[in-house]
Structures are given as C-alpha cells and as structure tokens.
Amino acid sequence: MKVLKFGGTSVGTVDALRNVKHIVEHQDEQVVVVVSALGGLTDTLIKAANLAAKNDIAAYRIVQDITARHSEIMNQLVEGEAIDDALNRVRALFYELSNAYTDISRSEELTEADIEEVVSYGERLSSLIISLIISNATHFNSLEIIRSNNHECDLEATNANIAKTLGKFKGKVAVMGGFISRDSKSRRISNLGRGGSDYTAAIVASALNANALEIWTDVDGFMTADPKEDANATVIRQMTYDQAQQMCDSGAKVIYAPTIKPVAEKKIPIWVKNTFNRTALGTLITD
C-alpha cells in the first residue's frame, strides 16, 4: 500500500479535484489519501475567528462563503446516490462551524483552543467531501486517530489507533484529513503545526509500512530553490533523506520538516509530484 498526500492547492478547486480523483482512481494498489483543507481555508478560518471575537458581522459572511465554496465543489463533483447523505453530513459540519463562531462572539475573547477547534473544520470538511468524490473511498476521522502533545505527534497512542483502524482496512481507498489531531491527555482538538498534513501522511506511511509516501503538490518536484523566488530553480530528480531534511530545515516548505524522519527510519521512499502535471517525473527521496 501507498500513502498519497494532496496539499491545499491540489484540493482547492473543482479542476484540481478532478486531477486528484484521476490520480487516486488510477492507482493499482491500496492507498491511504491524506488531504489538506481547501487552499487558503486555514487562514480564512483564523481570520473569521478574530472577527467573531470582535463581534464583527463579517465573520458570518466568511462562514457563508466557506459554505458556498464547499457546496459548489459537492454540486460539481459528488455523483449519484451519495449526494443526499453526503449533503447531510457536510451540512452538520457547516452547522457546527457556525455555532463555534457564535460561541466565540458570545465570549468576546479568542483562546488558543478556539482557534484549534475552528481550523480543524478545514480538514474535516475537505476529507469528508473528497471521500465522496473518489469512487469506492472510505472516510476515516483523523480526530479519532491522531494524538499529539503540544503539537507533536504522540506516536505511541497514534500508532495504536492506526493499527486498530487503517491497519484493518481491506478496501481500496481510505481518505483522511491531515494536520488535525486531539491532545493525548485532554482529548481537546489540538492540531499539528501549520503545513502539518505532510507529517500526518508520514506518520501513517510509517505505521503501515507503506511502499511509498507521495507528496502531491503544485510544483514539479523538490527544486534547487523556491520557484516563486528564483526563476532559475530546477527540479532535483533524486536526493537523500539527509539532503531533503537539510533543505526543509532551511525553509523549503515544499515538505513540512518533521515529515522526513518517520519515513526515513523505515526507509520508505518519498516522491514529490505535481497534481497539475502528473506525468512529470517528480523527485525521489531515499537513503
């Protein structure tokens, strides 16, 4: 089996999601698909929380926009009989999200726990919707699986949960949200760091001894520099875990830095691939 992670841009629009559907449905082995929130959504959820704490009505307009954006994707891409049940499950999440903002407005203060809770809706919504877009996919709730302490994964508890859930899965495609987690002790929502969906995917790949971890993003591979800052940047075809770790530690955000270790320890190859140019070779990271 393999673990495929799709970042925010890769799941941000109807067209991007068509690519994701194509890539996942053309795999010839079992896959766990780890997804980020729709592109930009985590920042939007935080912005709305700040407005809600000031009792600013703009927070509710943002919630309406978020609802409309997800609904549009569902209307375009969720087919057949799934639609009614799907709409109800997603509507329940919209309702809970809206209530979370009402609670923030009422208390007129914004705590760390409030932020952790509202941002978690990004991946809760995206993973549920994407599980309905991909044929024969089963949704797994990351909040019931990933445990952390102070934003670092609690590997013991998490690996035990993975063994009980994904480890027993016999279907073709499992879909789960990246980044989101519950605190090991308090069980409150407490997520991994920003960009942490890569890390979720690495933890799952390691726990399940995956054949590969594929990071699907919006560039052709791991490059010599950030192509947004250096027009001469080129794709590195192959690199070692150590080389990748060094570049990530120096700020190459194409992979979230803590991602490398769990897969390097098990010698699981990492591929960095482009969702929007799926025939490009990408980058292979091994030892």
Q: Which residues from 178-237 bind Mg ion, rule CB under 5 A?
A: 195
Kindly state whether residue 122 participates in binding ligand ADP, applying the rule CB under 6 A: no
Q: Which residues contact 145 (CB under 8 A, 6 or more apart)?
A: 158, 161, 162, 165, 166, 176
Summarize as ranges the residues that interact with ligand ASP (CB under 6 A). Answer: 7-8, 36-37, 42, 122, 178-179, 194-197
Q: Which listed option, Mg ion, ligand ASP, ligand ADP, none, makes contact with residue 42 (CB within 5 to 8 Å by class)?
A: ligand ASP
Interface residue with Mg ion among 3, 4, 5, 7 (CB under 5 A) is: 7
Binding mask 176-205 for ligand ADP (x = CB under 6 A): -------------------x----------
Please tell me the distance from the alpha carbon of residue 236 to that of residue 170, in angstroms, as a whole number: 36
Q: Phi and psi (nearest 5°) for 174?
A: -105, 140
DSSP E strands, the chain: 2-6, 31-35, 137-140, 147-149, 152-153, 173-177, 182-183, 212-217, 238-240, 270-274, 283-286
Binding mask 221-240 for ligand ADP (x = CB under 6 A): -xx-xxxx------------
> Which of 36, 181 has the CB closer to ligand ADP?
36
> Which of 146, 172 has the CB closer to ligand ASP?
146
Angle value at C-alpha 215, between 286 and 80, nearest 5 degrees: 140
Please tell me the distance from the alpha carbon of residue 252 to that of residue 254, in angstroms, as a whole number: 6
Min CB(191)–ligand ASP separation in Å:
8
Kindly state whether residue 36 participates in binding ligand ADP, applying the rule CB under 6 A: yes
